[in-house]
Amino acid sequence: MKLLEERIRKEGRVLPGGIIKVDGFLNHRVDPKLMRAIAEEMRRLFPDEDITAILTCEASGIALGEACAEVFDVPMVFAKKAKSDNIEGGLYKSEIFSYTYKKTVTLIVAKDWLGANDKVLIIDDFLANGEALRGLVEIVNQSGAKLAGIGVAVEKGFQPGGKRLREQGVNLHSLAIIESADETGITFREDN
Amino acid sequence: MKLLEERIRKEGRVLPGGIIKVDGFLNHRVDPKLMRAIAEEMRRLFPDEDITAILTCEASGIALGEACAEVFDVPMVFAKKAKSDNIEGGLYKSEIFSYTYKKTVTLIVAKDWLGANDKVLIIDDFLANGEALRGLVEIVNQSGAKLAGIGVAVEKGFQPGGKRLREQGVNLHSLAIIESADETGITFREDN
């Protein structure tokens, strides 16, 4: 998606260790016009009329998930990272390793909000090692719902998450795939 | 806002300890049509043409914050709860006590995304003790930005947060104010 690639090229910053900061428009300050454009591109890529829910993960997937929910006209469910007392029993759970926080966290979704009659599109802002998305797929499987696919805004193509998911046959679309990023600049995968 | 009150009455659940669960449409599964309706009501209540940013707090404020950002046609910034290595220096910070997690957490916003030229509308899904909103107001003050006001979806009127903020002269609008909630039902403040 050219619009997103141009935005990353113009406003993204590369930090040591291959960290790519896009926090001016995607995951700290959020540009709602860009979210809407990404959501419309997701609708084009996932035209299935029978999608019943968008599933994402707190916190940085929520803004894009909400924009997609509006465009797809379905509810958005966001998996929580377990820690709150307000969440009782009746949960789907998946343990993932968070590279951001360098520890294992448990993603949880209340069973009330996903079930065997659902067809789910998973949405996230970023794909690197793919742990969060692996956890969300596991939750969809636990619920008995069908998985329509996974839509990601920015994939770090030089990290293994995207390759793993594609090898498993997941219908994954990433709107901008970064092949390399260093102080000299950012290169995107051409066949994107 | 009648639409929101009816939704709370119909789908909200009251748990022991005055916990009100609205996780079927507001803060776990999110109804994008309701978010849009709330955002349009916020636009009516805060007609200031010179608002430059929506500020909210991760995680459950983000969906409504995004919907408001789209309606107000301004960026949405969400304060993070400090824990990530991806956030460097140059931060506004405010320590708050999280009643949900029963510990002190630090809200952070990168200085890049708020400054003295901004006029900020704070948005959140819930107001009870008001700690998160107190922290967000402190961050707005640190940035030198003007505060247009605070828009909240659901206020628990029997907890002290809303009263404190109004006594400080903050322009606070809560779209549904719950006066009491127990197993017999939910009562809303009439003059809302």
Which pLDDT value is given to residue A106? 94
Token look-up 């377990």 returns A82
Judged by CB atoms closer than 8 Å, whether chains meet at A66 and B35 is answered as yes
B65, B70, B86 member nearest A19 (Cβ): B86
Percent of chain B with pLDDT over 70: 96
Between the alpha carbon of residue B173 and those of residues A187, B10, B165, the distances in Å are: 46, 22, 11
A191 pLDDT band, cuts 50/70/90, is low
Q: What is the pLDDT of residue B65?
A: 98
Residue type at position A146: K
Question: How do beta strands B119-127 and B146-156 pair?
Answer: parallel
Which of B28, B58, B101 lies closest to A113 in CB terms?
B28
pLDDT tens profile B51-83: 999 999 999 999 999 999 999 999 999 999 986
Q: Which of B7, B20, B23, B29 has the most A C-beta neighbours within 10 Å, making it the best mutation to test the interface with A?
A: B29
* Helix, strand, coil percentages, rounded to 5, for chain A: 30, 35, 35
Q: Does B192 have pLDDT greater than 70? A: no
Whether A125 shows a pLDDT value over 80: the answer reads yes
Q: Specify the amino acid at residue A70.
A: E
What does the alpha-carbon distance between residue B186 and residue B35 come to, in Å, rounded to a whole number?
21
Kindly determine whether residue A62 and residue B62, on different chains, have CB atoms separated by under 8 Å: yes
Residue of A nearest to B66 (CA): A63
Q: In chain A, which among 99-118 make CB contacts under 8 A with chain B?
A: 100-102, 109-110, 112-113
Look at B63 and A65 and tell me if their CB atoms are within 8 Å.
yes
Q: Three-state DSSP class for B165?
A: helix
Structure tokens at B131: 């700690």
pLDDT cut 90: percent of chain A above it: 85
On whether the CB atoms of residues B68 and B151 are closer than 8 A, the answer is yes
Whether the CA torsion B90, A157, A81, B14 is positive or negative: it is: positive
Cα-flanking dihedrals φ and ψ of residue B40, to 5°? -70, -35
Q: Say if residues B116 and B143 touch (Cβ distance below 8 Å).
A: yes
CA–CA min distance A17, chain B (Å): 11
Task: Give contacts of A62 with chain B, Cβ < 8 Å.
Answer: 58-59, 62-63, 66
Element of type H or E holding B177: strand B172-182
- pTM of structure: 0.95
Structure tokens at A62: 């929520």
Q: Does the beta carbon of A22 lie under 8 angstroms from any beta carbon of chain B? A: no
> A112 to chain B: nearest residue by CA?
B24
- Written as one letter, the residue type at A162 is G
- How far apart CA B187 and CA A79 sit, in angstroms, is 30
Q: What is the DSSP string of B34-68?
A: HHHHHHHHHHHH---TT--EEEEETTTTHHHHHHH
Counts for chain B of helices (H) and strands (E), in that order: 5, 11
Secondary structure class of A162 (helix, strand, coil):
helix
* CA gap A91, B145 in Å, rounded: 41
Average pLDDT over residues B120-142: 97
Residue of B nearest to A109 (CA): B28
Q: Which of residues 24-43 of B touch A (CB under 8 A)?
A: 24-25, 28-33, 35-36
Closest to A67 (Cα-Cα) out of A27, A28, A24, A38? A38
Determine whether the interchain pair B59/A63 forms a contact, defined as Cβ–Cβ distance below 8 Å.
no
Quick check: B29 and A76 CB within 8 A?
yes
Contact across the interface for B29 and A83, Cβ inside 8 Å: no
Q: So what's the pLDDT on residue A84?
A: 58
